[in-house]
Every structure is written in structure tokens, then in C-alpha cells.
Structure 1
């Protein structure tokens, strides 16, 4: 009869057998009992319709995991069988995990995209507009890549007035996501007008740093308007959805951020032409107004009125003379009568017309500036107010004023004209 062996010995033999036999296995199953431990290790089980297998992925391998594990997820695991001898439990030690039927990167992209969309990271209400005329733009990209040279060329052509600040950043490989995040935070503290985050084209693995949640968080929390310019036109990354503006390429980001100086030159030329045309129209309109006013003043001048009245007088004279001649030829009696009538009428008309002319002439002379100052006439004022003579009292101090002189006197006597005529 064989001698019995200890439990430990048996577990060690089983461990040796399993670990040397199942060195590399590929297993497909559904995740359950998922636990993310504080140590960084991941514990879970995979199962099918009939069986369950315990699994563990240690911290050293989790950094290569591109997506978030979830209960109910169907995955394919590459690993090896290991036995925990003290308990006699065996489990699958996971080296690599891929989503079943789908690439890990594509699955991770959709997973993070859905997560951030649910958190409102893509909401248009939180996106900031770009300033129309930026003075300073900060670039978060590689200092050695071709993208920076392309952006400088486009900027010199479109708007050479802008100032660029480059934040040299690791844009691919291990640690790139963390470096991009830190550069975004530093660039946001520089108080620039626009921030461009991006790099040139590459494979999905090369661009993957811009699909990391840490980068998405930095973009979302930044106060500076951000343009995401990663890869080529066909490349869509998480940074594109979170940023305020998505550019197809780094060069396109400069085209979006900067105005076109040639368009503004054309616009300024059009403004000059429009200004000149408007000025010409205004001047022409004012010239027409002045011409109309001059013509109107000429029509209403004193000379014009005098000429008009003189013309009427001449017409009347001619008319009377014609009538008189006809009546003289017809009858001497009628001639005398007409002569008297004409004489009386004509004299009356002349007197009336002459009175009108004299009145116009008198008004004209009275209102002529040189006739304002008449000898013997003064203006009476008291306490700097113009006053009539009949409103004064004996003893009032008054001023007699002409345009050139002022005389001050005391009123000694006031008499009405009627009182003087009675004496």
C-alpha cells in the first residue's frame, strides 16, 4: 500500500502539472463577479452556460487594458492557469483581454464615448465660441512634428499678426495622455485667446492618447476655447467630441481660428468705396439744397418785389393809354370824361402804389443795420430791464442807451402830452 502524501504536497503537484500544461490558453466567456481591488488588481469570473472559471489580472497588466471591464461583457482572454496552493484553488491568470468579436481599441472608444456623452461632455451648451480676432494662441503639440510647421505656414498666410506659444508635449506612446493633460492645464493658465490641441496623422495606436479619459477631462475643465486637431480628416477621437471646435487637421485648425487678412483687405476697400460714394451723394444733395435756397431767396428779395410792382405799373400805364387813345378817337366828350376818369383813377392808383412802395422802402430802411441808430432816439432801461416812460416815477434812476453810449440820470419830472396841450 502506498504511503499517503500531505495536502500541501498534492496541491504543489497539481500546481506544477497545471501550470506546465496550460502555459498559454485562449478562453472566451462572460464576465461576472467583477471587482476592481484597491491594490490595482482585477478579480472576476468568466462563465458559459455550464461552468465558471475564476480569473485575476494583476496591476502590471492592467495598464495595457484599453477598455473598462463590466459584468455581462463577453471577452476573449489570453493567459495561463495558476494554482493558489494554500487553498487548492486554480484560476486563470490574464495577460491580455479583448472584447469578443470586436477590437479592444474600438470597443474602448465607444465605451468611453458613451460614458462622457452621458456626463454631458459633448453638450453644445457648454461649448465656447472662438474670438473673431485672436491675438495669442497656445499650441499643445509636439515641438518636433510636421504639424507645427504646417500651422505656422497657414498662420503667416492668413493672419501674421497673431502670436503663438508652443507647449512641447508628448503626443504618443506611454505617458502621452498624462503629458497632454498636464500641458492643457498649464496652457489654460496662460490666459490666451485660443488653445489648439493636436498632432499630425498616424495609426489609431499612435493617436490613442487623445482617446483617454484624462485628456477629455482636461479639455472639458479648461476655460480657454479649445480646437481639437488630431490626425487627418477621417480620424475622429474623443478629444474632437469634447473640444469646443473640431478641426480636420492641424492646418485646418489655424484656418478656423484665424481670419483671412486678404478678405479683410477686400472688405476695407469696399468700405472706402462705399464711404466715398456716400460722401459724394451727401455733397451733391447739399449743393442742390443750397441752390434751391438761393433761388428761393432771389425770388423773395426786395429788388424782385420792386421789379414786379414796377412791371404791373407799366402794364397798367400801357393799358390806360391804349383805352384812352381809343376813346379820344370815338368822341371828344368821352375823351374829356375818360381823361378825367383816367386822371383820377390813375392818380389814385399811383398814390396807392407809391404809398406801397414808400412803405416797403421805409420798412427796408428801418430794418437796415446802418439805420438802427437814429439821432434823438434812446432806449430807456431801469435795473437792466427795458421800460416805458409812462411806467417810471420821479426819482427813478434810469439809463438812456444808444448802440454806442449809455447815460445814467435821475428822473425829475414826468408829464403827459395831454397835460401839456391844455396849458
Structure 2
């Protein structure tokens, strides 16, 4: 079972989800419940036939409004969703409000964006990678604008080794879109490492040249990696979507394009420290190895070897003498043992032989042929072997022998008395 969460945690999650999902939205509707607060903030709602949403425009943005808001007025709002977590309310935080009649530019932007997206201009797979250490960068921007000076200043502090080539272009007004596209094509022929296309901030009308299809086509067809750096961070142009990289401002484009020399200095310092540390460690190891080798050499020198051999000879001599004495004692003991054992064996063998002679003598006397000639006694043999009467069985074929006669017989019946 899932553990329940608090209301505050739920509202915090909703706030995070909404504010990260609806970062920038365009909303068209009719104003209602309008309040101009003494603080300079404007509170109102915007509605259509089916829904209403609360809106707020803070004083910092409200001061740029060129017209007075009125109830019932139809407007186009640019903003983002914000959530007031303590009450669980969400509202539209307005950064720009335009009359609905002037919303044609926004519509044209969305139409061109959808068209180019379907043609694959925004496909991440075709985006070109920026080189890590560019040597030459082409700047397509106004030669008299503040953006070029900002970029030069950032580059001087960040990576002064880079070379800039300025390709002047009209960045607003009639014919500017065509001029920008031609400048992009020319800059692409200069074999630069990176091209930055952009200008400083301004109104949507001032920036509109970068929303033209002719500029999008020039960026898409360029072989040089392009950074789009138009306006401020809140401004999103068609050039931002088509370019390989989008920068919030021209200065940010330089930060993206160039490495930070200070980071590399720190990295080089760390490498130097690491090199010194490792070198010191290697020297210490070599010194230790040298000390060990010196000690080993002393242990294996001729004097050491002679002294060792001399001590071994003395030890062996002493050990040999002791070993010889011990072996003589052992040999004498073994000799005495062998003498005793041999005498015992001789006596035992002599006794055995005497017994065997007596047995043979008795056997001979019992088998003396002369004894076979005694009246009434015969020798019984079966298969040429002497056999006792007790071992005979019915039907056995036997021979009855005396010194002068042999009788062949068959046993018909055996009875025990």
C-alpha cells in the first residue's frame, strides 16, 4: 500500500510539474475581472466560451504595455504557468500582452514553425557539433550594434586566441531578411569553424527578420555549425529552432562557442601539481629501490660471501665430525644387532632342518617297500596316488599293490564298522 503524502508535498509536485511543463505559452481570450492594483500589478481573468483562467502581470512587465487593458477586450498573452502552493491555485503569469488584432505575427510564427518542423529542419539528428577549440568564427550581425562589442568583450576574457570575421548584415527593417540570408551564405564560404547569427534585443517586430523562411533556409543549408543568438533569453525565433545551437543572447553565444581559458589554466595547474606529485613519488620509489639494492649488494658482496662460506665450512666440519661419531655408534649397534639376528636365524634354521630330517626319516620308514610285503596288507592307489580306505566311494576304480603284484578293482559297496 502506498504511503500518503502531505497536501504541501502534493501542491509542491503540482507546482513543479506545471511550471516546468508550461514554461512559455500563448493564450488568446477575453479580459474580465480586471483590477489595477496600487502596487502597479495588474490582476484579471481571461476567458472564452468554455473556460476561465486567472492572470497576473507584475509591474516590471506592466510598464511596457503600450495600451490600457479593458474588460471585454480580446488579447493575445505570452507567459507561463505559475502555482501559488499555499492555496493550491495556479494562474497565468503574463510577460507580454498584445491586442488580438496584432496576433497575426504569432500565428505566422506558429504556421512557419509547423511547416519547417514537418520538413525536418528541427531534427536533432542533423544538428552539427561545435568544435571544442575554434580558431575562426564568423559573426553575422549589425556592424554598429551593441551585440558585436559585447561578443568581443566576452571573447577577450574567455579565449583571446580566437579570430573573428565580421559579416555585416541588416538585422531589422525592410530587406533585412534577404540581407541576413545572403550574409549567411557568404560567411559559410569562408571556411570558419563556427558561425554566430544574431543581434541584440528588441520588439517582436524588430526581431521578425529572424522568423522569415528565407533566413531559415539559409541556416539549414549552411555547412558551418551555426549558433542562433537573437534578442534576450525570453525570445524564441525560428532561427533558434533551425540553428545547430540556440544561445539566449549574443554574449551567451560566445560563452557557448569558446572554451574558458581560466578553466584551462586551472586544469593546467592541476596537471602540473599532479605531475610534480607523481614525479616526487617516482623519485621516492627510485630512492627506496636504490637503498634496497645497496643493502642487497652489501649482503651479496665478496667479503660477505667469503665470511658466509667460511662459517658454513666450520659448521659443516663440526656437523660432519658429530655425524661421523653418531654414524659409528649407529653402525656398531646395527652390527651387533645383525650378529645376534644372524645367530638366531642359524639356530632357528638348524632346528627346522633337524625336524625335517626326522619327519623324512619317519615318512621313509612308513613307506619302505619292504613293509608292503606283510601278509594281509596292500597299498590302495587311485589314479596313481596312495589313498586311504576311508576316502573311497562306490564305483571308484582302484589298484591294490604289493611289492610283487597289482590288482585292479571297482568298489561295489562301502560299509562302516
Please name the residue that 1:265 is paired with: 265
TM-score by length of 2: 0.51
The Cα offsets for residues 300-356 of structure 1, whole Å up to 9 and x where unpaired, read as 333212112333556789999xx9xxxxxxxxxxxxxx9xx9xxxxxxxxxxxxxxx
Q: Structure 1 282/148 Cα, relative in aligned 2: closer, same or farther at 3 Å?
A: same
Please name the residue that 1:344 is paired with: none
| Alignment partners' CA distance in 1, 2:144 and 2:102 | 35
Alignment of 1:374-385 (within 5 A): none
| Alignment partners' CA distance in 2, 1:289 and 1:203 | 74
| Alignment partners' CA distance in 1, 2:191 and 2:319 | 96
| Alignment partners' CA distance in 2, 1:109 and 1:313 | 105
Alignment gaps of 5+ in structure 2:
1-98, 329-417
Please name the residue that 1:134 is paired with: 134
| Alignment partners' CA distance in 1, 2:290 and 2:119 | 71
SS at match of 2:297: helix
Please name the residue that 2:147 is paired with: 147
Please name the residue that 1:52 is paired with: none
| Alignment partners' CA distance in 1, 2:306 and 2:225 | 80
What is the CA distance between 1:102 and its match in structure 2? 7.3
| Alignment partners' CA distance in 1, 2:258 and 2:316 | 85
What is the CA distance between 1:232 and its match in structure 2? 0.4
What is the CA distance between 1:288 and its match in structure 2? 2.1
| Alignment partners' CA distance in 2, 1:105 and 1:303 | 101
The Cα offsets for residues 36-82 of structure 1, whole Å up to 9 and x where unpaired, read as xxxxxxxxxxxxxxxxxxxxxxxxxxxxxxxxxxxxxxxxxxxxxxx
SS at match of 1:166: strand
SS at match of 2:215: helix
| Alignment partners' CA distance in 2, 1:103 and 1:193 | 39
| Alignment partners' CA distance in 1, 2:136 and 2:163 | 5
What is the CA distance between 1:292 and its match in structure 2? 2.2
Please name the residue that 1:296 is paired with: 296
| Alignment partners' CA distance in 2, 1:190 and 1:143 | 18
Please name the residue that 1:186 is paired with: 186
What is the CA distance between 1:283 and its match in structure 2? 1.7
Alignment of 1:75-86 (within 5 A): none
* Structure (1 or 2) with the larger CA radius of gyration: 2
The Cα offsets for residues 275-303 of structure 1, whole Å up to 9 and x where unpaired, read as 11111111222222232233223323332
TM-score by length of 1: 0.50
Q: Structure 1 242/319 Cα, relative in aligned 2: closer, same or farther at 3 Å?
A: closer
Please name the residue that 1:224 is paired with: 224
| Alignment partners' CA distance in 2, 1:136 and 1:244 | 17
Please name the residue that 2:208 is paired with: 208
Please name the residue that 2:280 is paired with: 280
The Cα offsets for residues 151-185 of structure 1, whole Å up to 9 and x where unpaired, read as 11101110111111111100001100000000000
Please name the residue that 1:5 is paired with: none
| Alignment partners' CA distance in 1, 2:137 and 2:231 | 20
Please name the residue that 2:246 is paired with: 246
Alignment gaps of 5+ in structure 1:
1-98, 324-337, 342-423
| Alignment partners' CA distance in 1, 2:314 and 2:234 | 99
The Cα offsets for residues 228-253 of structure 1, whole Å up to 9 and x where unpaired, read as 00000000000000000000000100
Please name the residue that 1:311 is paired with: 311
Indicate whether 1:198 and 2:198 are aligned. yes
Please name the residue that 2:28 is paired with: none
| Alignment partners' CA distance in 1, 2:313 and 2:110 | 107
How many residues in Structure 1 have an aligned counterpart in Structure 2? 226
Indicate whether 1:122 and 2:127 are aligned. no
Please name the residue that 1:176 is paired with: 176
SS at match of 2:227: strand
SS at match of 1:120: coil
| Alignment partners' CA distance in 2, 1:305 and 1:270 | 50
The Cα offsets for residues 374-413 of structure 1, whole Å up to 9 and x where unpaired, read as xxxxxxxxxxxxxxxxxxxxxxxxxxxxxxxxxxxxxxxx
SS at match of 1:234: coil
Of the structure 1 ranges 99-108 and 208-217, higher mean CA displacement relative to structure 2 is found in 99-108
| Alignment partners' CA distance in 2, 1:316 and 1:242 | 95
Please name the residue that 1:13 is paired with: none
